[in-house]
Amino acid sequence: MAKGKVGLGRQGETLAAEQLVQHGFRVLARNWHCPEGEVDLIAVRGESWYFFEVRTRRGRACGTPEQSVTPTKRARMEAVARRYLGEEVDAVDVLWHLGFVAVAMDKQGHLQRITIYPDLDGAPL
Instruction: Pick the closest to residue 44 from 115, 117, 94 (CA basis).
Output: 94
Check residue 2 and give its pLDDT.
44
Query: In the chain, where are the structural domains located?
Result: 4-117
CATH architecture of 4-117: 3-Layer(aba) Sandwich (3.40)
Q: What is the pTM of this model?
A: 0.90
- pLDDT, one tens digit per residue, over 33-69 is 999 999 999 999 999 999 999 999 887 766 778 888 8
Mean pLDDT, residues 14-42 taken together: 96
How far, in Å, CA of 1 to CA of 19, rounded?
18
